[in-house]
Structure 1
Amino acid sequence: MFTRLLIKGEKVITRQKVVHVVSDSVGETAELVVKAVASQFNGGHVEINRHSFIESTQDIDEAINSVDELNSLIAYTLVIPELKEYLDRRSAEKGIFSVDLLSPLLHVFEDFFKQEAKHQPKLIRRMDEAYFKKIEAIEFSVKYDDGKDPRGLKWADLVLIGVSRTSKTPLAMYLAHHGYRVANVPIVPEVAPPKEIFEIPRSKCVGLTISPEKLNEVRKERLKSMGLNAESNYASMERIFEELDYADRIMKRIGCPIIDVSNKAIEETANLIIHTLKRGRGL
Structure 2
Amino acid sequence: MSSQNEKPIIYVISDSIGETAEYVVRAAASQFNGGTAEIRRISYIDDHESIDEVVQSAKEVNGLIAFTIVVAELKEYLLKIAEKKQVKTVDIMGPMIDALQGIYKMPPKMKPGLVRKLDDEYFRKVEAIEFAVKYDDGRDPRGILKADVILVGVSRTSKTPLSMYLAHKRLKVANVPLVPEVQPPDELFEVSSKKVIGLKINPDQLNSIRKERLKALGLTAQANYANYKRILEELEYSERVMKKIGCPVIDVSSKAVEETANIILDMFRKGGER
Measured against aligned partners, the alpha-carbon deviations of 1:22-78 in whole angstroms (never above 9, x if no partner) come to: 222222222333344445556655433322222221221222232145642212110
**1:200, 1:47 → 2: CA distance?**
52
In structure 2, the residue matched to 1:177 is 168
Q: Match for residue 105 of structure 1? A: 96
Aligned-pair Cα RMSD in Å: 2.2
Secondary structure of 1:32 counterpart:
helix
Identify if the C-alpha distance between structure 1 residues 26 and 278 changes in structure 2 by more than 3 Å, giving closer, same or farther.
closer
Question: Which residue of the partner structure matches residue 73 of structure 2?
Answer: 82
1:236 aligns with 2:227: yes
Equivalent residue number for residue 9 of structure 1:
none
| Contact 1:69–1:95 under 8 Å retained in 2 | no
AA at the equivalent of 2:173: V
Change (3 A) 1:24 1:122: same
Deviates more, 1:192-201 or 1:264-273: 192-201
Structure 1 unaligned regions, length at least 5: 1-13
Contact 2:154 2:179 in 1 (8 A): yes
Match of 2:153 in 1: 162
Taking the aligned partners of 2:8 and 2:153, their CA distance within structure 1 comes to 65
TM-score by length of 2: 0.89
CA contact (8 A) 1:203 1:280 kept: no
Closer/same/farther in 2, CA of residues 188 and 83 from structure 1, 3 Å limit: same
Matched, 1:262 2:253: yes
Percent identity over the alignment? Answer: 54
The offset of 1:195, in angstroms, is 2.0
Q: Is the 8 A contact 1:209 1:244 kept in 2?
A: yes
Deviation at 1:165, TM superposition (A): 0.8
> Quick one: which amino acid aligns to residue 91 of structure 2?
D
Q: Identify if the C-alpha distance between structure 1 residues 96 and 69 changes in structure 2 by more than 3 Å, giving closer, same or farther.
A: farther
Q: 3-state DSSP class of the match of 2:58?
A: coil
The TM-score normalised by the length of structure 1 is 0.87
Gaps of at least 5 residues in structure 2 are none
Of 231-240 and 40-49, the range deviating more from structure 2: 40-49
Q: SS in structure 2 opposite 1:140?
A: helix
Contact 1:20 1:48 in 2 (8 A): yes
C-alpha deviation, 1:217, in angstroms: 1.6
8 A Cα contact 2:194 2:273, kept in partner: no
Structure 2 counterpart SS, 1:19: strand
Partner Cα separation in structure 2 for residue 26 and residue 200 of structure 1:
37
Aligned-partner Cα distance in 2 for 1:230–1:78: 65
Is the deviation greater in 66-75 or in 35-44?
A: 35-44
Cα pair 1:162 1:209 within 8 Å, conserved: yes
Q: Per the alignment, in what secondary structure is the counterpart of residue 180 of structure 2? A: coil
- Which deviates more, 208-217 or 16-25? 16-25
Change in 2 beyond 3 A, CA 1:45/1:196: closer
